[in-house]
């Protein structure tokens, strides 16, 4: 979800207005994903690196996220959405932690769209934490060194039961991963859209899925036609 600030700047508005409109885009996207029968939608809500922004902007982003959960949780629950949160809880304000926990607890039994919220998330941090926990298991004899395989390391990540993303969409024209799901994205199709996040809507989502469908996924193998 990139480009909120640029969306606002282009209109002579304060950045926070872009973030507000970004929340509306998120609402539209969750609804569209549900309608389209998508099983998993992961949103990059706040990155480990976003703490480097000015305190006032961090304050705005946090308030908007608090308000989103308070206002939208009941609706999400009614729509059978299951909320999962990935990222570091340590260092977050207690009230935010409680809200994230409440969202997960309330929607635990829902079996519609799983909305994965990456909050205070960084992929390298996630992988390093997985390595720490794995190393502890090796050090304490619960695991042997030769058992350290990609699947095993993957099982120590924040949400190992959630499948790797088929497609990753980034708005605003930037073409980089910015520490998002680096492990899980090994074979994801990447779609970069020139529009800013507040302009993202159902048509944009459908367009990105259309682009994804035109790609040929080979996972390192050969094309179905036998071409190399």
- Please check whether residue 166 is in contact with residue 192, taking contact to mean a CB–CB distance below 8 angstroms: no
Per CB under 6 A, the segment of 1-9, 27-35, 108-116, 154-162 that binds ligand IPE is 1-9
Beta bridge partners of 47: 121
Task: Please tell me whether residue 7 binds Mg ion under the rule CB under 5 A.
Answer: no
Residue among 68 and 156 whose Cβ is closer to ligand IPE:
68
Counting other chains too, the contacts that 34-40 makes at CB distance below 8 Å and 24 or more residues apart are: 34/79, 34/81, 34/112, 34/113, 35/202, 36/205, 36/206, 36/209, 38/113, 39/113, 39/114, 40/113, 40/114, 40/116, 40/162, 40/163, 40/165
Residue among 156 and 197 whose Cβ is closer to Mg ion:
197
List the interface residues with ligand IPE, window 26-85 (CB under 6 A).
Answer: 46, 50, 61
Q: Minimum distance from CB of 132 to ligand IPE (Å)?
A: 27
- Strands 40-47 and 82-86 turn out to be unpaired
**What is the enclosing helix (H) or strand (E) of 24?**
helix 15-35
Specify whether 2 is catalytic. yes
**Residue 61 interacts with which of ligand IPE, Mg ion, none, CB < 5 to 8 Å by class:** ligand IPE
Q: Select from 1, 23, 30, 118 the one that contacts ligand IPE (CB under 6 A).
A: 1
Task: Please tell me whether residue 122 binds ligand IPE under the rule CB under 6 A.
Answer: no
Task: Please tell me whether residue 25 binds ligand IPE under the rule CB under 6 A.
Answer: no
Residue listed under structure tokens 């073409």:
175
Residue among 172 and 184 whose Cβ is closer to ligand IPE:
172
- Please check whether residue 163 is in contact with residue 40, taking contact to mean a CB–CB distance below 8 angstroms: yes
42/179 Cα distance (integer angstroms): 14
Task: Please tell me whether residue 198 binds Mg ion under the rule CB under 5 A.
Answer: no
Q: Minimum distance from CB of 46 to ligand IPE (Å)?
A: 6
Task: Please tell me whether residue 2 binds Mg ion under the rule CB under 5 A.
Answer: yes
Specify whether 201 is catalytic. no
Query: By rule CB under 6 A, what string of x and - marks binding of each residue 185-214 to ligand IPE?
Result: ------------x-----------------
9/18 Cα distance (integer angstroms): 8
Residue 164 burial (CB < 10 Å; 0-12/13-18/19+)? middle
Q: Minimum distance from CB of 92 to ligand IPE (Å)?
A: 15
């Amino acid at each position: 979800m990139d480009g909120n600030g640029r969306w606002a700047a282009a209109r002579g508005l304060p950045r926070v207005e872009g973030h507000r409109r970004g929340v509306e885009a998120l609402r539209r996207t969750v609804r569209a994903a549900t309608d389209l029968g998508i099983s998993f939608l992961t949103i990059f809500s706040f990155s480990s690196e976003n703490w480097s922004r000015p305190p006032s902007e961090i304050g705005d982003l946090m308030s908007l996220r608090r308000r989103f959960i308070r206002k939208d949780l009941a609706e999400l629950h009614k729509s059978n959405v299951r909320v999962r949160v990935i990222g570091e809880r340590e260092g977050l304000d207690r009230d935010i932690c409680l809200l994230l926990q409440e969202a997960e607890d309330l929607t635990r039994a829902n079996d519609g769209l799983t909305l994965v919220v990456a909050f205070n998330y960084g992929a390298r941090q996630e992988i390093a934490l997985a390595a720490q926990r794995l190393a502890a298991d090796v050090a304490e004899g619960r695991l042997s060194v030769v058992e350290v395989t990609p699947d095993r390391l993957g099982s120590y990540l924040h949400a190992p039961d959630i499948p790797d993303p088929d497609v990753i969409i980034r708005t605003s024209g930037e073409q980089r991963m910015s520490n998002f799901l680096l492990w899980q994205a090994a074979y994801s199709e990447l779609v970069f859209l020139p529009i800013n996040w507040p302009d993202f809507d159902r048509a944009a989502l459908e367009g990105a899925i259309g682009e994804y469908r035109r790609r040929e996924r080979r996972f390192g193998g050969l094309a179905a036609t036998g071409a190399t």
